């Protein structure tokens, strides 16, 4: 491998550890989505480096990419930026504990951690004045000149791990002081975190502000659910398997559930959460993205724009949400958090039925359900099929066929089906065809969502990021309901922490046509 100046990476001072890793990296990493070589000096700036997301997700993802050879010491420098006055060494020490998790024993990991930490430099400054960003730019330029990098080939990635209220000033500062001077093949790319606005008008306002500063091609609106292994598998599953093609429609499918459950509350994030609530935190983005991939039509090709075109179309086919199709809940004890308003009307649980007005899905309810402080932690898609017509085995009493995609934990797909009960008698039972990833792919470490999405950004692949019109269509669906909640017209029902959520949600599910299978439970296989 060589960069544009003809330097050989493997011969340019890389450690043997990195060399080994580099050899494992497939050649695809060297090209971006347009086929442009993805090499050259890379500066990654984490804005909000002192925060929660940065330490829990962003830096660990960068470390994993480094360990696997996707970020090379010879090219990369990582800059943390925030207002907090700490030194580079302080930041490295803060991060060490988070990056070390589960890896303390391996000498190889501890060496690579030290090397990774050395790539990090911290710059302190405010989010709305020139001085800090000029210092940041100076550091980036120093890095670029130390690598003899020209603007034509330099790459600058800005990760906004910040509250959305500061996106506009920060983006103005980046635009004014920190842009790479060339867009081709060098670049400047910006990753923005959700929530992108609070409703349709605020999201559009934010999109307009960012759109005045950057091209859509430079903006990567991250939704980390799009980086999860089984979410990335959805289109493959649907469009590369003959099994599913004829079944995936209103003739065969009775209802679809997309469910997110957490067994802990808002812990430490009560102030943020109370302003947003579960619909803005989880349903309008994460679950709706999954919904798109389950319900959209086949794209013309795998080009990011073709996929995103189909996502927009299905979102635009969603009918206005009816209030009778919504159940909200708030767990007991939520308001004990001093950062939460004592009169809060914010839902920590919601079950919402979406109905699609198109040829494939007319009449099939999609139930999107999310809750905090429930009795388990999992995220899954549950596709329930209709009853067998002319049921000579009386299977109906056993329960319906279901196809379940378990996004987390313990990634799996299983199909619940009726089989003959083994033995002399002719009777039927529910069983499953099971593809459990931990058992089937024992040697594979499933990458973290953030890891994959940051790598996609470096490669210039926007497929798994939210496009502006997609975001608008998503807010169009939920804004009327959110305004009803914000105005207090819809109240959350109380539920006990550690429960299934409000009983009304199960009633809504039954009303939507979901038939619970009694006496059957899927048990993830053990190795
Ligand atoms: N934390 C998580 O698990 C997740 C977070 N996100 C999103 O990621 C982004 C960052 O989240 P998170 O790290 O939790 O946020 P934090 O509240 O930890 O904020 C990040 C940093 O931003 C600065 N900051 C905080 N509040 C303000 C403010 N009002 N004005 C200016 N600067 C401020 C602080 O740095 P300093 O004071 O040093 O400048 C802080 O360390 C948000 O958009 C969030 O919605 C998305 C998914 C999950
Ligand atoms: O975006 C968010 O996601 C997390 C859940 O992410 P997961 O990958 O662990 O499922 C959620 O806890 C948080 O409230 C929300 O902001």
Print the domain residue range for 79: 9-193
Same structural domain, 177 and 87: yes
Q: How far is the CA of 48 from the centre of ligand 1 (A)?
A: 6
pLDDT of residue 21: 43
Burial class (CB in 10 A: 0-12, 13-18, 19+), 520: middle
Q: Is the pLDDT of residue 6 over 80?
A: no
pLDDT digits (tens, 9 = 90+) for 359-404: 999 999 999 999 999 999 999 999 999 999 988 887 667 889 999 9
Q: What pLDDT does residue 106 have? A: 73
pLDDT at position 17: 40
Protein residue with its CA nearest to atom 41 in ligand 1: 51
Distances (CA, A) of 495 to 29, 99, 148, 348, 484: 48, 36, 61, 10, 21
47, 158 Cβ separation under 8 angstroms: yes
- Of the two residues 25 and 108, the one the predictor is more confident about is 108
43-65 pLDDT tens trace? 999 999 999 999 999 999 999 99
Q: How far is the CA of 266 from the centre of ligand 2 (A)?
A: 10
Surface-to-core class of residue 88, CB atoms within 10 Å of its CB (0-12 exposed, 13-18 middle, 19+ buried): middle
pLDDT score for 97: 86
125 close to ligand 1 (CB < 6 Angstrom):
no
Residue labelled with tokens 């794209």: 299
- What's the confidence (pLDDT) of residue 524? 82
In order, the DSSP letters of 279-317 are: IIIIIIIIIHHHHHHHHPPPPSSSSHHHHHHHHHHHHHT
Q: How many CB atoms lie within 10 A of CB 208?
A: 11
Q: Please state, in angstroms and as integers, the Cα–Cα distance from residue 42 to each residue in 47, 146, 157, 217, 261, following that order.
A: 16, 12, 8, 18, 38
- Angle value at C-alpha 472, between 34 and 245, nearest 5 degrees: 65
When pLDDT is averaged across residues 508-517 and rounded to a whole number, the result is 95
Tell me how far apart the alpha carbons of residues 40 and 235 are, in angstroms, rounded to a whole number.
33
Is 248 found in the same domain as 367?
A: yes
164 CB within 6 A, ligand 1: yes
Residue 344 and residue 472 in one domain: yes
Closest ligand 1 atom, CA of 54? 13
Q: Which residues of 390-423 are buried (b: 16+ CB within 10 A; e: fewer)?
A: eeeeebeebbbbbbbbbbbeebbbbbbbbeeeee
Express as a percent the part of the chain with pLDDT over 90: 80
Residue 403 placed within a domain: yes
Q: Give the three-class secondary structure for 520.
A: coil
CB atoms within 10 A of CB 255: 21
Q: Is 79 a member of any domain? A: yes
332 close to ligand 1 (CB < 6 Angstrom): no
The mean pLDDT value for 63-79 works out to 95
Q: CA-CA distances (angstroms) from residue 485 to 225, 262, 407, 477, 481?
A: 25, 22, 29, 14, 6
Tell me the CA distances in angstroms from 424 to 392, 395, 417, 427, 477, one per residue in order: 19, 18, 20, 9, 54
Atom of ligand 2 nearest to the CA of 225: 8
CA dihedral 449, 197, 167, 143 (to 10 degrees): 20
Mean pLDDT of 32-41: 66
pLDDT digits (tens, 9 = 90+) for 470-499: 999 999 999 999 999 999 999 999 999 999
pLDDT at 31: 59
- Asked if ipTM goes beyond 0.95, one says yes
Which segment of 43-52, 253-262, 394-403, 452-461 scores lowest on mean pLDDT?
Answer: 394-403
Choosing from 143, 224, 286, 464, which is the catalytic residue?
A: 286
pLDDT score recorded for residue 490: 96
- Report the residue among 45, 46, 47, 48 best suited for mutation to probe ligand 1: largest number of ligand atoms under 8 A from its CB: 48
Q: How far apart are CA 276 and CA 356, in angstroms?
A: 26
Q: Of 75-79, 84-88, 264-268, where does mean pLDDT reach its minimum?
A: 264-268
Per-residue confidence at 19, pLDDT binned at 50, 70, 90?
very low
Same domain, 68 and 160: yes
Phi, psi (rounded to 5 degrees) for 283: -75, -50
Structure token pair of residue 31: 């090209």
What tokens does 479 get?
């804004």
Shared domain for 187 and 241, answered yes or no, is no
Q: How many domains does the chain have?
A: 2
Q: Which of 19-23, 34-38, 195-199, 442-446 has the lowest mean pLDDT?
A: 19-23
Whether the Cβ atoms of residue 286 and residue 231 lie closer than 8 Å to each other? no
Same domain, 234 and 176: no
Which residues sit with their C-beta closer than 6 Å to ligand 2?
224, 262, 281, 379
For residues 188 and 231, state if they share a domain.
no
Q: Tell me, yes or no, whether 367 and 306 share the same domain.
A: yes
Instruction: Specify the ligand 1 atom closest to the Cα of 84.
Output: 38
pLDDT at 11: 28
Q: How far apart are CA 461 and CA 347, in angstroms?
A: 35
pTM assigned to the model: 0.91
CATH code for position 167: 3.40.50.720
Show the tokens assigned to 259. Answer: 């469910």
CB environment 38-68: b (16+ within 10 A), e (fewer): bbbbbbbbbbbbbbebbbebbbbbbbbbbbb
Beta strands in 265-398 (DSSP E): 326-331, 349-355, 365-371, 378-385
In a domain, 212, yes or no: no
Tokens of 451: 């890891």
Please indicate, yes or no, if residue 2 is contained in any of the structural domains. Answer: no
- Output the CA angle 435-232-215, nearest 5 degrees: 175
pLDDT tens per residue across span 271-304: 999 999 999 999 999 999 999 999 999 999 999 9
- Distance between CA 215 and CA 204 in Å, rounded? 15
Place of tokens 């329960």: 399
Q: How far is the CA of 401 from the centre of ligand 1 (A)?
A: 43
**Domain contains 130:** yes
> CB-based burial of residue 199 (10 Å sphere; 0-12 exposed, 13-18 middle, 19+ buried)?
middle
Ligand 1 pocket residue status of 210, Cβ below 6 Å = no
- Domain-located, residue 526: no
Position 102 pLDDT exceeds 80 = no
Which DSSP symbol is given to 2? B
Mean pLDDT in the chain?
Answer: 91
Is a pLDDT exceeding 80 seen at residue 14? no
Same domain as 98, residue 245: no
Helix and strand element counts for the chain (H, E): 17, 15
Whole-number percent of the chain with pLDDT over 70: 91
Give the CATH number of the domain where residue 276 resides. 3.30.360.10
Q: Domain check: are 350 and 402 in the same one?
A: yes
H-helix segments, 368-444: 437-440
Distance 81 CA to ligand 1 centre (A): 12
Looking at ligand 2, which residue's alpha carbon is closest to its atom 4? 282
Q: What's the whole-number mean pLDDT along residues 330-351?
A: 96
Do 112 and 247 have their domain in common?
no
Higher-confidence residue of 44 and 150: namely 44
Mutate to test the pocket of ligand 1, among 50, 87, 125, 162 (most ligand atoms within 8 A of CB): 162
Rounded distance, CA 456 to CA 463, Å? 8
- Distance (Å, whole) CA 517 – CA 415: 13
Active site residue 286: yes
Query: Has residue 15 got a pLDDT over 60?
Result: no
Under 8 Å between Cβ of 463 and 289: no
203 inside domain: no
**Residue 516: inside a domain, yes or no?**
no
**pLDDT for the residue 396:** 67
Is there a single domain that holds both residue 185 and residue 234?
no
What is d(CA 231, CA 225) in angstroms, rounded to the nearest whole number?
7
- Residues near 477 by beta carbon (within 8 Å), at least 6 away in sequence: 284, 288, 315, 318, 321, 354
Predicted local confidence at residue 107, as pLDDT: 72
pLDDT band at 22; cut points 50, 70, 90: very low
């Amino acid at each position: 491998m060589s960069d544009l100046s003809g330097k050989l990476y493997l011969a340019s001072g890389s450690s043997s550890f990195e060399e080994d890793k580099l050899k494992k990296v497939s050649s695809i990493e060297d090209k971006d989505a347009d086929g442009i070589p993805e090499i050259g000096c890379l500066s990654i700036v984490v804005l909000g480096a002192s925060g929660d997301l940065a330490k829990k997700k962003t830096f660990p993802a960068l470390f994993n990419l480094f360990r696997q050879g996707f970020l090379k010491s010879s090219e990369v420098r990582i800059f943390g930026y925030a207002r907090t006055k700490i030194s580079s060494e302080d930041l490295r020490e803060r991060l060490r504990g988070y990056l070390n998790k589960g890896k303390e024993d391996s000498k190889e990991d501890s060496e690579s951690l030290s090397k990774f930490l050395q790539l990090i430099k911290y710059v302190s400054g405010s989010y709305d004045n020139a001085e800090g960003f000029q210092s940041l730019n100076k550091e980036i330029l120093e890095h670029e000149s130390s690598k003899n990098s020209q603007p034509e080939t330099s790459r600058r990635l800005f990760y906004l791990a910040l509250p959305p209220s500061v996106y506009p000033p920060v983006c103005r500062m980046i635009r004014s002081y920190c842009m790479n001077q060339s867009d081709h093949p060098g670049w400047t790319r910006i990753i923005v975190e959700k929530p992108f606005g609070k409703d349709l008008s605020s999201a559009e306002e934010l999109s307009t502000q960012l759109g005045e500063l950057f091209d859509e091609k430079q903006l990567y609106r991250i939704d980390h659910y799009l980086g999860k292994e089984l979410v990335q598998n959805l289109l493959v599953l649907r469009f590369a398997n003959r099994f599913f093609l004829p079944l995936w429609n209103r003739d065969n499918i009775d209802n679809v559930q997309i469910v997110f459950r957490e067994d802990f509350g808002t812990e430490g994030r009560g102030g943020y959460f109370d302003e947003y609530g579960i619909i803005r935190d989880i349903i309008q983005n994460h679950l709706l993205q999954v919904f798109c991939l389950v319900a959209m039509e086949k794209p013309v090709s795998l080009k990011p724009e073709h996929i995103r075109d189909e996502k927009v179309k299905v979102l635009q086919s969603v009918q206005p949400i009816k209030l009778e199709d919504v159940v909200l809940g708030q767990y007991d004890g939520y308001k004990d958090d001093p950062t939460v308003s004592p009169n809060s009307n914010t839902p920590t649980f919601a079950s919402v039925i979406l109905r699609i007005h198109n040829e494939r899905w007319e009449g099939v309810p999609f139930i999107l359900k999310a809750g905090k402080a429930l009795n388990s932690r999992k995220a899954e898609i549950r596709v329930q099929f209709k009853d067998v017509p002319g049921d000579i085995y009386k299977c109906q009493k056993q329960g319906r066929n279901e196809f379940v995609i378990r996004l987390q934990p313990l990634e799996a797909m299983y199909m619940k089906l009726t089989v003959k009960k083994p033995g002399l008698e002719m009777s039927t039972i529910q069983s499953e065809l099971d593809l459990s990833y931990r058992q089937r792919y024992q040697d594979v470490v499933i990458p973290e969502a953030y890891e994959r999405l940051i790598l996609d950004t470096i490669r210039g692949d926007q497929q798994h990021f939210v496009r502006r019109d997609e975001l608008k269509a998503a807010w169009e669906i939920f804004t009327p309901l959110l305004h009803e909640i914000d105005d207090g017209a819809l109240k959350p029902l109380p539920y006990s922490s550690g429960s299934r959520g409000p009983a009304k949600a199960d009633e809504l599910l039954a009303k939507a046509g979901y038939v619970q299978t009694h006496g059957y439970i899927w048990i993830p296989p053990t190795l």
